[in-house]
Structure 1
Amino acid sequence: MNASPRRKELTRLAAQLFVQEGFDRTTVRMLAQEMGIKSGSLFHHFRDKQEILAAVIEEGTQNALVIARRALDNGPSHPEARLRAMARAHLETLFADRNAHVVALFEWRRLAPDASAHLSHLRDAYEALWLGVIDDALAAGVIQGDRFLVSRFILGALNWTVRWYNPEGPQAPDDLADELVAMIMAGRGDQA
């Protein structure tokens, strides 16, 4: 997709409006007004509202991949440390680019089938990073459980923080990540 600075700015503004109003309730007129352009001018940058939604999700998912890969490439190799690094990277992504990720989490189902198919490779690549880290942690005995369920529990818990976490509050995102990893590690003791 076109990565011009103007298009990126329009995508950021659209993400904000999609979070505030929801994708279905957001009109082209509302988008143009938020972006400070005429409705017709919007179509110089995007074909339609669907393309705007796809651009928001694509940008957010690409940013998540970059941050996660950087955390793994520059981080320690021990499975527990890698798990913490991924949890921290996930929260960094959520809070640094909150609107794009809220849209990806809650509006993905609104994507047209062709856009969903196009963007699935990015989502799958991100999930593959997580699965690799989880597999290493399971193999090392750092955590226990079913791989599928562990991945869903971890990502679900991290993703839900966009609903309740207050960045102005007493806990930093790294504290949340460390607490989550501590909780999932707590279950690794002997089972009765």
Structure 2
Amino acid sequence: MFVQEGFDRTTVRMLAQEMGIKSGSLFHHFRDKQEILAAVIEEGTQNALTLARQALEECDDSAEARLHAMARAHLQTLLTDRNAHVVALYEWRRLDPEARDHLIHLRDAYEELWERVIDEALNDGLIHGDRFLVSRFVMGALNWTVRWYDPDGPRKPEDLAHELIAMITPSAVPARAESTKV
């Protein structure tokens, strides 16, 4: 409902109706709508962090492999747990200060993983540029895929990750383009 209607337009009654329960039942689990928003963002961010850490543990130590692993993990989590990430991306600003303070460590931990991988790629000469800008451009490109990517199309998250790395690294080989449909 937060994805479809936005946080501000979603009521507790709408959430309860969507779940097939009475609106008062939600308050046995959550204090208010703000706490529901924080729970959605926390779960999505925690899942993204876990998947990214696993991806880094499973890949070899080369900067290119680690960059690819992070891009693939980000896309997998973004596209398989789409709603939680769309909510985090678009509704973070709606969190009250208490919830934001509670969740900022997860966001920072995730961004720190990216910064380390980008630093490695910069230090190895795999990519060039300002770390801040590179990380923002990469994350922006990855995050925007929720708006245009068709999970039923011919390209999988692995293909998208490979294409992104090919675009930002001159030595990477682009994935074979079989279709213009994404």
Which TM class, normalised by the smaller chain length? Answer: over 0.9
Q: Is residue 102 of structure 1 aligned with residue 94 of structure 2? A: no
Question: Which residue in 2 is equivalent to 1:178?
Answer: 162
Tell me which residue corresponds to 1:45.
29
Runs ≥4 residues deviating over 4 A = none
Are 1:80 and 2:60 an aligned pair? no
Structure 2 distance, partners of 1:74, 1:170, is: 26
Q: 1:1-192, aligned counterparts within 5 Å?
A: 17-186=1-170
- The separation in 2 between residues aligned to 1:82 and 1:128, in whole angstroms, is 14
**Secondary structure, in 3 states, of the residue corresponding to 1:76?**
coil
Quote how far apart the aligned CAs of 1:102 are.
0.3
1-structure distance, mates of 2:125, 2:170: 12
Bigger shift: residues 163-172 or 101-110: 163-172
SS of alignment partner, residue 143 of structure 1: coil
Q: CA deviation at 1:186?
A: 3.1
> Partner of 1:141: helix, strand, or coil?
coil
Q: TM-score with structure 2 length normalisation? A: 0.92
Gap regions ≥5 residues in structure 2: 172-182
For the residues of structure 2 that align with 1:129 and 1:85, how far apart are their CA atoms? 11
Deviation at 1:158, TM superposition (A): 0.2
CA-CA distance at 1:171 after TM superposition: 1.1
> TM-score when scaled to structure 1?
0.88
Gaps of 5+ in 1: 1-16, 188-192
Q: In 2, Cα distance between the equivalents of 1:92 and 1:145? A: 26
Query: Which deviates further from its counterpart, 36-45 or 149-158?
Result: 36-45
Aligned-pair identity in percent equals 76
CA separation in 1, counterparts of 2:148 and 2:55? 25
- Mapped partners of 2:55, 2:12: distance in 1: 38
Question: Which structure shows the higher helix fraction?
Answer: 1
Q: Distance in 2 between matches of 1:176 and 1:74?
A: 19
Residue-by-residue CA offset, 1:123-144 (whole Å, 9 max, x unaligned): 0000000000000000000000
- In the comparison of the two structures, how many residue pairs are matched? 172
